[in-house]
Amino acid sequence: MNNTYKYFGLIAAAVLFLAGCATPQLTGPAASYNPSEQMDVDPGEARLVLYRSKKENQSGSPILRIDGHVVGALNPGQFLMSDVCQGSNKLVLSRNQSDNRPVTLDFTAKPNETLYLRIWEPSENHFAAERVAPAIAQEELRKIKSSSYLVNRKTYGCKTEEPQPVLIKEVEFSADTLFAFDSASLTDQVGRQTLDELAKEIRASNVAIETIRVIGHTDRLGNPDYNQKLSEERAATVSAYLLTKGLPSNIETIGMGSNLPVTTDCQGNRATSALIECLQPDRRVTVELWGTQETDH
């Protein structure tokens, strides 16, 4: 009789263990993200930081893969880090190993860059990912005290047999030239002509463009959420216009809001004419060309 009870006890324990694996609610190792300690990456690689806000009410746990390798799984209130190769990468989020409708996100990394991606669950068992400006991500990561419970299985070291995409050219445009004040609509003449010249130069070059990255920036005046939205809309406007000029369709659009200013000596917070003029360099759109050949320009 005692052996019978022992047998059924083992079965019950196994069932509970498997049930826990099927619906992972595991808390990962206690850890805090410290950006000053996370920059030791190999040459030609970048650091990817993925996280989920602790405020989420959903309980699903997506499996995350980069270039086919599992790098972790995230419950709300967890983060993970993985080194990635410079150039084009693909992040895949799935509910389980057999999910036939995974979410994919293509992103481009610069050498020694740190990229932040927020993962969230808009609805049950449906996941999404978005790139987040470093200042915003680091503020949200301060509230997270656990890392992923799943071991990173990504192999380290980047392939060298094939040339990796590199940053061929970076062009910066004043937002005041491209857009009307407080608007994401191109100016009829100057803005369009400026982008026409860029498109013409790209088409005439001998560069094999793999990715175009368009990044919008604003100054620090006004509401941060509004600035973030305006920077995204301006980047999207430039991307859409370049597409009409026959450029490659693989264009990334990123809005950084006011998180990456270039000015350092503009004093004050009131939107005076002098301060608006001083902050003009911060209002800009940057276009990056990524490819595998050097340009003659």
Do 20 and 149 touch, CB atoms closer than 8 A? no
DSSP three-state, residue 278:
helix
Q: Which residues pair with 50 in a beta bridge?
A: 80, 117
pLDDT at res. 123: 76
Q: Which residues pair with 47 in a beta bridge?
A: 83, 114
**Tokens 């990255």 -> residue:** 213
Backbone angles phi, psi at 61, to 5 degrees: -135, 100
Taking the CA atoms of residue 68, residue 74, residue 79 and residue 80 in that order, the dihedral angle to the nearest 10 degrees is -20
pLDDT at res. 152: 65
pLDDT at res. 287: 92
Per-residue pLDDT of the chain (297 residues), as tens digits, is: 445 444 444 444 433 333 333 334 456 678 888 877 655 777 778 889 999 987 766 666 788 888 778 888 888 888 998 888 888 888 888 876 555 577 888 888 888 889 999 998 877 767 888 889 999 999 999 998 888 866 666 655 665 455 667 888 889 999 998 998 788 988 878 888 889 998 888 887 766 788 899 999 999 999 999 999 999 999 999 999 999 988 877 889 999 999 999 999 999 988 899 999 999 999 999 999 887 654 443
Q: What is the SS3 string spanning 88-127?
A: EEEEEEECCCCCCCCEEEEEEECCCCEEEEEEEEEECCEE
Q: Locate 258 and state its tokens.
A: 């006011």
Is the torsion defined by CA of 137, 117, 185, 264 positive or negative? positive
Distance separating the N- and C-terminal Cα atoms of the chain? 86
pLDDT at res. 248: 75
pLDDT at res. 166: 80
What is the residue extent of each domain of the chain? 26-147, 166-291
CATH architecture assignment, domain 166-291? 2-Layer Sandwich (3.30)
Judge: domain 26-147, CATH 2.60.40.
yes
Rounded-to-integer distance, Cα 237 and Cα 225, Å: 18
DSSP state of 141: H
pLDDT at res. 281: 94
Give whole-number Cα distances, 227 to 140, 221, 233, 251, in Å.
Answer: 18, 8, 10, 22
- Across 198-231, b (16+ Cβ under 10 Å) vs e yields bbeebeebebebbbbbbbbbbbbbeeeeebbbbb
